[in-house]
Amino acid sequence: MKCEVCFRKCDLSEGQEGFCKGRINRDGKIVAKNYGRISSAALDPMEKKPLVRFHPGSMILSVGSYGCSLRCPFCQNHEISQVDLEGQCEEVTPQQLVDKAVELVLYGNIGIAFTYNEPMVGYEFIRDTAKLAKEKGLKTVVVTSGNATISTLDEILPYIDAFNIDLKGFTPEAYRYVGGDLQTVKDFIAHAAKKAHVELTTLVVPGKNDSPEDMEKMAKWIASVSPDIVLHLSRYFPRYKETIPPTPLSTLESLQAIAKKYLHTVVLGNV
C-alpha cells in the first residue's frame, strides 16, 4: 500500500514501517503509529516557534511526538525525529491534551503547537486535537518542514491558525542535502498561506543554501505568494552529523538585506 502523506509515497507491505518511522501498514491500512504519543511538551513563548506576527508575547503549549520524513544532517531534535520512540512516550488522547491546554490558560497559554519532530507524519492526531481545541477557543499552530502533500494539508488546514514552515533552500541541491523536495514545500506554503497565518524559517548553512542569487530568487518567490510573509533567517551551528563551522553573522546580514528588497519583515534568529 502507498502512503500518500508526504512526497516520499512509501510503498509499505503489511507490518512495514515508513521511512519516517511514524507510520505503519497495519491490517491493510496505513496509520499513524505515533498517534497520541507525546515525547516532549513545554509551555513556550510564541516567538520560540518562531512566530513573531502571531499573538506576540503569548505562550503556547508545545508538544512533539517522534518521526520525520527528512534526514537533515544538522537536526537539533534528532533524538525524537530520527528514532522510533514507541513505548517511551506518554500516551494522551486529543481530549486530554485540550484539557491540559485549557488548564494552562491560567499561566498565559493561548493554545497548542504541534512541533519538535515532524508533526505532519501524524496528521490525524493534529486534526482530531485541533478540532477540539478550536471548540474551546484555543489557537492552533503547526511547525513543519512542509513536505506533506496538499491532500494531507487539507485534512488539518480548517483547524489551524498559524504555521511556521521551513524553507530549507531554493535549489534542488539544497533539498537533496536534507532529503526533501522543494516543489512539495513550495506548494505547501502557497496553499497554507491562502487560509492561515504563515511564517517561514530558513536555517542558513554555509556552502549549502547561502548563495545571494538563490536568496534573491527565494525572496522574490515568497513575495509572489505575499510580501507580508515573515522570513526568519536562522543561524546554523554544528549539530548531530554536520561539522561545517557556524554561519558567519555577516552572511546572515547580507542575505537579510537581499530578502528585505522583496519582503516587509526578515528576522535573524539564533544570533
| Alpha helix (H) residue ranges in 82-149 | 94-103, 123-135
* Distance (Å, whole) CA 264 – CA 126: 31
**Pairing assessment for the beta strands 59-64 and 40-45 based on DSSP bridges:** antiparallel
Residue 104 touching ligand SF4 (CB under 6 A): no
Residue 37 within binding range of ligand SF4, rule CB under 6 A: no
> Which stretch in 4-12, 34-42, 75-83, 136-144 sits in contact with ligand SF4 by CB under 6 A?
4-12
Number of residues near ligand SF4 (by CB under 6 A): 12
Q: Which is nearer to ligand SF4, 25 or 209 (CB)?
A: 25
9 binds ligand SF4, rule: CB under 6 A: yes
Cell numbers 502507498: residue = 2
Which positions from 62 to 91 touch ligand SF4 by CB under 6 A, shown as an x/- string?
A: -------x----------------------
Neighbours of 196 (CB within 10 A): 20
DSSP 1-41: -B--SBTT--B--TTPBPTTSSEEEETTEEEETTTTEESEE
| CA–CA dist 121, 112 (Å, integer) | 17
Stretch that binds ligand SF4, among 7-15, 172-180, 224-232, 240-248 (CB under 6 A): 7-15
In angstroms, rounded to a whole number, what is the distance separating the alpha carbons of residues 24 and 14? 8
From the list 18, 50, 94, 146, which residue makes contact with ligand SF4 (rule: CB under 6 A)? 18
Position among 8, 33, 49, 208 found at the interface with ligand SF4 (CB under 6 A): 8
Task: Provide the phi-psi class of 221: left if phi over 0, else alpha when psi is between -120 and 50, else beta.
Answer: alpha
Which region among 16-24, 175-183, 195-203, 214-222 touches ligand SF4 (by CB under 6 A)?
Answer: 16-24
Site map 119..148 versus ligand SF4, x via CB under 6 A: --x---------------------------
Instruction: Report, in Å, the least distance between residue 8 CB and ligand SF4.
Output: 4
As a whole number of angstroms, the distance between CA 167 and CA 144 comes to 10
185 binds ligand SF4 (CB under 6 A): no
* Nearest distance, CB of residue 192 and ligand SF4, angstroms: 17
Q: Of the two residues 71 and 134, which places its CB atom closer to ligand SF4 in the complex?
A: 71
Q: Quick one: cell of 203? A: 536555517
**Which CB sits closer to ligand SF4, 9 or 264?**
9
Strand partners, 241: none
Q: Which residue is nearest to ligand SF4 (CB)?
A: 18
- Rounded to an integer, what distance in angstroms lies between the CA atom of residue 228 and that of residue 86? 40
Binding site for ligand SF4 (CB under 6 A): 3, 5-6, 8-10, 18-20, 23, 69, 121
